[in-house]
Homo-oligomer: A and B are copies of this chain.
Amino acid sequence: MPEANSKAEYLVGVDLGGTKILSGIFTSSLKCVGRSKMSTKAERGPEAVIERIAHCIQDAVDECDLDLKQVRGVGIGAPGSVDPDSGKVMFAGNLGWKDIALEKELGKQLDLPVFLGNDCNICTLGVHEVELEGKPRNMIGIFLGTGIGGGLIIEGKLYHGFNRTAGEVGHMVLEVNGPKCTCGNKGCWEALSSRSALFRQVQQAVKDGQKTILTEMLGNDLKDLRSGDLRKAIKQGDKFVEHIVEEAAKYSGIAVANLINIINPEVVVLGGGLMDALENEMMSVIIESAHEHAFPGSDKGVKILASKLGDNAGITGGAVLARRETK
């Protein structure tokens, strides 16, 4: 791997998603000074995607009137199962990747050291170190989007576990005979409370004749449905959408209670696209349901917060990782 230039001051964080790549340039004190965004084009294959990541980073660097030589290292969060030791993405369904040496290949393209982590772990790292100033000894980060994932900070450090898959909270079964999940099981949290779960419920209900403002907004097929549309529908008084979102939030509260019972963290932080879009509609329901279901005493003083980093959690965490690894 290329060596870190110890005189270089800047850090790059990258959030690699199934549909978009986000890059951020950070100072050594983790202030974001510039960002760049690009579509992933996963269908073009891993080599092309890695070139696009390099391109996206170069765009962000250029936007800040900087040069790659002023970058100390790159931290990148990738979806799916990731091996931080070998720097490989072992398996990522939404990218169609299997056993891709992302650290090495991206490092070669940029002539910079690259450090890889699981996307939700990296987001958790960003929230912990920057948003919460590294204070909580024990914390859980939960990210609600198309799926649901998480990361654990235990005794101040990102915790990986035996197969380095710790924090796979979205496939916690909450309802043994609940709706089918993409993982093959039934009643996983992800199948009850993710964006996909919400959309599936709305679409099924509409098919079954349910009336909703959403069809007036988007047509009967609801083809372009987005999280923000649910918020708009609720704001316009759509009780059906409100009910669906509330039920999902109640399940999320139960999942948070389970995590508080098991791990007893000081802070639980919720983020991700769905949370960003529906924070006002979901957060108070989640908090109430979590306290209602937590074992008495275990939730005392435990903070349940919505992250303010939004889209920036991943790139921030990437920069934290790069800083840590090039120190």
Chain A residues within 8 Å of B, Cβ to Cβ: 81, 90-91, 137-138, 152, 154-155, 159-169, 171-178, 183, 185, 251, 254, 257-259, 261-266, 292-293, 295-302
CA distance A256 to B243 in the complex (A): 32
16 new A-B contacts, CB < 8 A, other than A152-B263, A166-B263, A173-B293, are A91-B297, A162-B301, A162-B302, A163-B264, A163-B299, A165-B261, A166-B262, A168-B295, A168-B298, A171-B295, A172-B258, A173-B254, A176-B178, A176-B254, A262-B262, A262-B263
Which B residue's beta carbon lies closest to that of A161? B264
Taking a contact as CB atoms under 8 Å apart, the answer to whether B172 and A81 are in contact is no
Nearest CB of B to A41, in Å: 26
Identify which of B152, B185, B261 contacts A171 (C-beta below 8 A): B261
Given contacts A154-B159, A162-B138, contact A183 B263 (CB under 8 A): no
Taking a contact as CB atoms under 8 Å apart, the answer to whether A176 and B174 are in contact is yes
Which B residue's beta carbon lies closest to that of A296? B183
Which B residue's beta carbon lies closest to that of A258? B172
Taking a contact as CB atoms under 8 Å apart, the answer to whether A162 and B264 are in contact is yes
Taking a contact as CB atoms under 8 Å apart, the answer to whether A175 and B176 are in contact is yes
Nearest CB of B to A138, in Å: 6
Given contacts A91-B297, A155-B155, A173-B257, contact A164 B262 (CB under 8 A): no
Taking a contact as CB atoms under 8 Å apart, the answer to whether B172 and A175 are in contact is no
Which B residue's beta carbon lies closest to that of A172? B258
CA distance A292 to B173 in the complex (A): 12
Cross-chain pairs A/B with CB under 8 angstroms, 22 sampled: A90-B297, A138-B162, A155-B159, A161-B263, A161-B265, A162-B264, A162-B266, A163-B301, A163-B302, A165-B261, A165-B295, A167-B264, A168-B295, A169-B261, A171-B295, A172-B261, A172-B262, A173-B254, A173-B257, A176-B178, A183-B295, A258-B258
CA distance A183 to B293 in the complex (A): 9
Nearest CB of B to A261, in Å: 4
Taking a contact as CB atoms under 8 Å apart, the answer to whether A160 and B257 are in contact is no
Which B residue's beta carbon lies closest to that of A302? B162
Chain B residues with CB under 8 Å of A254's CB are 173, 176
Given contacts A154-B155, A154-B159, A162-B138, contact A169 B262 (CB under 8 A): yes
CA distance A235 to B165 in the complex (A): 40
In the A-B complex, the 3 residue pairs with the smallest Cβ-Cβ separation, listed nearest first, are A161-B264, A166-B264, A165-B298
Which B residue's beta carbon lies closest to that of A168? B261
Chain B residues with CB under 8 Å of A293's CB are 173, 185
Which of A175, A183, A254, A293 counts the most B-chain CB atoms under 10 A from its CB? A293
Identify which of B169, B178, B262, B301 contacts A168 (C-beta below 8 A): B262
